[in-house]
Structure 1
Amino acid sequence: MSITFILNGLLLSLVLYQLKEEIELRKQMNIAELNELDETARIETEGFRTGTYLRLEIHDVPSEMVEYFDPYHPILVGGVGLGEENVGYMQARLKRHRWHKKVLKTRDPIIVSVGWRRYQTTPVYAIEDINGRHRMLKYTPEHMHCLAMFWGPLAPPSTGIVAVQNLSNNQATFRITATAVVVEFKHEARIVKKIKLVGYPCKIFKKTALIKDMFTSDLEVARFEGASIRTVSGIRGQVKKVAKEEIGNQPKRKGGQTKEGIARCTFEDKILMSDIVFLRAWTQVEVPQFYNPLTTALQPRDKTWQGMRTVAELRRENNLSIPVNKDSLYKKIERKQRKFNPVVIPKSLQASLPFESKPKDIPKRKRPLLEERRKKGVVMDPHERKVHALVQQYQLIRNDKMKKRKVNEEKKRKVLEVERAKEEELSKKRRREERRVKYRAQDKQNKKIRRA
């Protein structure tokens, strides 16, 4: 068996050696034939050989690129696929880089490097809820990923992205802002945020009310038909439709029609004119369609490219303070306790109620009870006042003595604890010495027994 295996291996090696010799012979014959041809015919037959130079002719090049061309900075030439020539929305999974010192703000411009392209864009950050809704974030999370939606030339999914805040020739201040990867392109920009609309009743019926100042137009009322609303007192309701009837004390438009934006709403119970009505809803956020390609090759190398600046940079340059909205400041809310009228039960209904549920007409007492008189206070005569003052003085003296006694007892207890700790330490040393003497005597006795 082993001899057959060795023979087969020798035959295979011989066949491979013959094939290599034939390939090398054909290669030498091809080279000899191609050497006889001129350069043009050889390129048409063989193609461009390794090490030959390729000349590219590029049309419609800006004159600044030729004027500021620097041979120490080579130009890379690449190709873009057909699907990457279009412009649209891209969704990326982004995380702020640990080198960047601050969080990123929505709609602040950043410079992204996606594939062959570098451009400036204004992303909108969002996070996906449990129900699949993309909720807008004002700032990027501290230590987790989020979704970034921005407008620019499309790139295929799984394309890596590197983002920076600005370009600088000073490498000491350079920081990578964020890293991301394209999740989806040609994606519909469906990002929402919470809104809270506030309205006030202008006319109240039984369980229906007309709400003003919540919407600005009838079209907006139609947009929120069927939405749930709620008052401060906790009464729930629903937006029904636009109010078309006349309202006496409301401003009117031309033609005698009512003011726009008044909605007819129904509630669980009758509301008051002092109630405030809230509507919590979601509205779609518009992602800016902005991208600015970097033109660093069209200017001198020692000049830093300047693109769109952030709002913070503009405020810093113009020495403008941050606007403060007083309604957005946190403040203590103090609401007066509301007093509701007592429940009035009709007499026809009282007849059918059981006795314990019927309202009891208890006449008022002319003389108050003893408990009520005690609550008002007891008036003491001069002797009782002296006795009461003397008792309070004795109690004060007793309490002071008890405090001093507790302090003295605490001091004595601490002294005793220190003495007990010292005695315990001495007893430990004594027991240790006794054990040492005992074990030495036992060891000597054992040695004598072994020698014997």
Structure 2
Amino acid sequence: MNYAENLINLPSLNFFWVLWDFYITAIDIDNNWNVKLLSTPEEDTGNENEAKFHREQPNESNYIDKLKEEIELRKQMNIAELNDLDEDTRLEVEGFRTGTYLRLEVHDVPCEMVEHFDPYHPILVGGVGLGEENVGYMQARLKRHRWHKKVLKTRDPIIVSVGWRRYQTTPVYAIEDLNGRHRMLKYTPEHMHCLAMFWGPLAPPNTGIVAVQTLSNNQATFRITATAVVVEFNHAARIVKKIKLVGYPCKIFKKTALIKDMFTSDLEVARFEGAAIRTVSGIRGQVKKVAKEEIGNQPKRKGGQIKEGIARCTFEDKILMSDIVFLRAWTQVEVPQFYNPLTTALQPRDQTWKGMRTVAELRREHNLPIPVNKDSLYKKIERKPRKFNPLVIPKSLQANLPFESKPKHTPKRKRLSFDDRRQKGVVVEPRERKIHALVQHLQLMKTEKIKKRKHKEGEKRKVLEAERAKEELVSKKRRREERRDKYRTQDKLNKKIRRA
């Protein structure tokens, strides 16, 4: 037999497991692992509807042993055939065997690698698949390491190790909500996984990832920042974030209004046609179309250009000029197309590779303060009291109202009434002033007497409470002694009864 035929006829281990799976599925498995066999013709003649089955134990071990012997026999035949060949032919058929020393010739190597080559640090050589040579977006399932103290920020550079590659990239973190939407996260969540989208050489799914922020060895804290696994790779990043547009009404027609300062151009208005909007007071509405010139969007000066970005919106009720209109929507987040391969072999071993720095490191180096947005600070809200117009009731409705609800129109008086004059001020005579002072003195004496009486009653109450507490202690002691004497006499009687 030819050696090529022997190689082809060799049943591999995978083929063995396929046969074994097929054999197991062909067996009707019950609690005793028996094989159901059809009944014989003699038994079927008695009653066709009642079939009897005989069970017998399969000889599984013999079948497996036969397969193993066949595999081992084929293996020995292949080895014998290959041993009869010369080295060149065997190399073409079998390839390089394990443990063979090889010489690799690498082209287009930078001169720095030759200058800083250190034979005490070996270089690992690995094979990269055809699909891994392309560059694109990768989505990974990432979790911050529990020993790393700080959380990771979106678009902060990290160094990832994916397969045979190590490079620096700027990931964007996200989480998948109930609607299947990937919402952007500013920071990695605590004690749970999130999605990370970054740009780099593509790796197959289920590839493990280890992330660090720096390669220096003089760190006091734990260096590994996160671990991840590749979920999928594609050429488009599908991450969104919330956006809130604010507008103000510039003209109102019953349930239709023109909204300004929400969009910057007519193209944006056309893009958001049909979007749901809402006022602060809770009135819902919808963006219709771009406002035309004939319905109010006219230039202030003659011959001037029409202002763009004014939208015509309809609401479920009439709004006011003081209302603020909100539009909540989702916008696409752009993932930076950045990856920087690590070139540690092109520099001396005593130097640490440095790549892109984070924003916090740059601020710390240049002594720059953290920018503070005044609109994000908490401050006291002061609203002016609103003045509502007086309620006007039609005369046709006033006739049907009860007397209490009817508006009372009193004519204005030229002279002040008695109550108004009394409130303004009253001239008191000397005799009345003396009487008023005497009444005040008597009232003061009465209040002082009441205070003294309450003070004495409080002192008496304290004395009584102290006496009651003493009596309670004495009574407690007396009851304790009586209880003790009672238990002693009862114990003596019980002992006499036991002796008798």
| TM-score after normalising by structure 2 | 0.69
Cα contact 1:228–1:239 (8 A) shared by 2: yes
| Structure 1: distance between partners of 2:161 and 2:460 | 77
Q: CA deviation at 1:321?
A: 1.3
The one-letter code of the counterpart of 1:338 is R
Question: Which of residues 386, 408, 412 in structure 2 aligns to 1:362?
Answer: 408
Residue aligning to 1:141:
189
CA distance in 1 between counterparts of 2:130 and 2:459 reads 90
By how many angstroms is 1:185 displaced?
Answer: 2.1
Match of 1:110 among 158, 168, 180: 158
SS of 1:323 mapped into structure 2:
coil
Alpha-carbon distance, 1:313 to partner: 0.9
Higher mean alpha-carbon deviation, 292-301 vs 203-212, is at 203-212
Q: Give the drift of 1:345.
A: 4.6
Aligned counterpart in structure 2 of residue 222 of structure 1, from 270, 293, 298: 270
* Aligned counterpart, 1:159: 207
Please list every run of 5 or more consecutive structure 1 residues that lacks an aligned counterpart in the other structure. Answer: 1-11
Match in the other structure for 2:325? 277
1:7 paired residue number? none
Cα offset, 1:258, TM superposition: 0.5
**By how many angstroms is 1:30 displaced?**
4.5
Corresponding position of 1:212 = 260
Q: SS of the residue aligned with 2:243?
A: strand
Query: Which secondary structure state, in structure 2, belongs to the residue aligned with residue 56 of structure 1?
Result: coil
The structure whose RCO (Cα within 8 Å, separation 6+) is larger is 1
8 Å CA contact 1:125, 1:148 repeated in 2: yes
Q: What pairs up with 1:172-321 in 2 under 5 angstroms?
A: 172-186=220-234, 188-245=236-293, 250=299, 256-321=304-369
**Aligned equivalents of 2:90 and 2:327: distance in 1?**
80
Are the counterparts in 1 of residues 148 and 222 from structure 2 also a CA contact under 8 Å?
no
Is the 1:151–1:288 contact (alpha carbons within 8 Å) kept by the matching residues of 2? yes
Give the direction of change, closer, same or farther, for the CA distance of 1:193–1:400 in structure 2 (3 Å limit).
Answer: farther
Tell me which amino acid in the other structure corresponds to 1:283.
T
Which of 430, 439, 457 aligns to 1:387? It is 439
**Aligned counterpart, 2:47:** none
Determine helix, strand or coil for the equivalent of 1:190: coil
Asked if residue 60 in structure 1 is aligned to residue 108 in structure 2, the reply is yes
Displacement after TM superposition at 1:317 (Å): 0.9
Alpha-carbon distance between aligned partners in 1 of 2:354 and 2:242, rounded to the nearest angstrom: 35
Check whether the contact 2:297–2:310 (CA below 8 A) recurs between aligned residues. Answer: no
Deviation at 1:369, TM superposition (A): 11
Aligned to 2:216: 168
- Partner Cα separation in structure 2 for residue 57 and residue 306 of structure 1: 29
Deviation of residue 115 (structure 1)? Answer: 2.1
Distance 1:206 1:269 in 2: 8
Do 1:244 and 1:258's aligned partners in 2 also have CA atoms closer than 8 Å?
A: no
State the 1:312 CA deviation: 1.2
Q: Summarize deviations over 1:210-254 as a string: whole Å, max 9, x none.
A: 22211111111111222233333444332221112165885579x
The range that moved more, 200-209 or 321-330, is: 200-209
Question: What's the Cα RMSD here?
Answer: 4.3
Seen in structure 2, the aligned counterparts of structure 1 residues 44 and 84 have a Cα distance that, compared at 3 Å, is closer
Cα deviation digits, residues 390-415 of structure 1 (max 9, x gap): 44664466457647855885797589
Q: Pick closer, same or farther for the CA change 1:171–1:265 going to 2, 3 Å.
A: closer
Query: What secondary structure sits across from 1:202 in the alignment?
Result: strand
Which shows bigger deviation, 49-58 or 417-426?
A: 417-426
CA separation of 1:417 and 1:114: change in aligned 2, threshold 3 A: farther
Please, which moves more after superposition, 436-445 or 89-98? 436-445
Partner of 1:99: 147
Distance in 1, matches of 2:208 and 2:467, equals 73
Inter-partner Cα distance in structure 1 for 2:310 and 2:198? 37
Percent of aligned pairs with the same amino acid: 71
Q: 1:250 to 1:417 in 2, by over 3 A?
A: farther
Paired residue type of 2:336: P
Contact 1:350-1:358 within 8 A present in 2 as well:
no
1:350 alignment partner in structure 2: 397
Letter aligned with residue 362 of structure 1: K
Q: How far apart, CA to CA, are the structure 2 residues paired with 1:217 and 1:321?
A: 35
- Tell me by how many angstroms 1:67 deviates: 2.3
Change in CA separation of 1:184 and 1:107 when aligned onto 2, cut-off 3 Å: same
Measure the CA separation in 1 of the matches of 2:274 and 2:155.
33
Q: Which residue is equivalent to 1:51?
A: 99
What code does the residue aligned with 1:75 have? Answer: I
Deviation at 1:309, TM superposition (A): 0.9
- Superimposed CA distance per residue, residues 176-234 of structure 1 (whole angstroms, 9 cap, x where no aligned partner): 21222223321742222222222222233333222221111111111122223333344
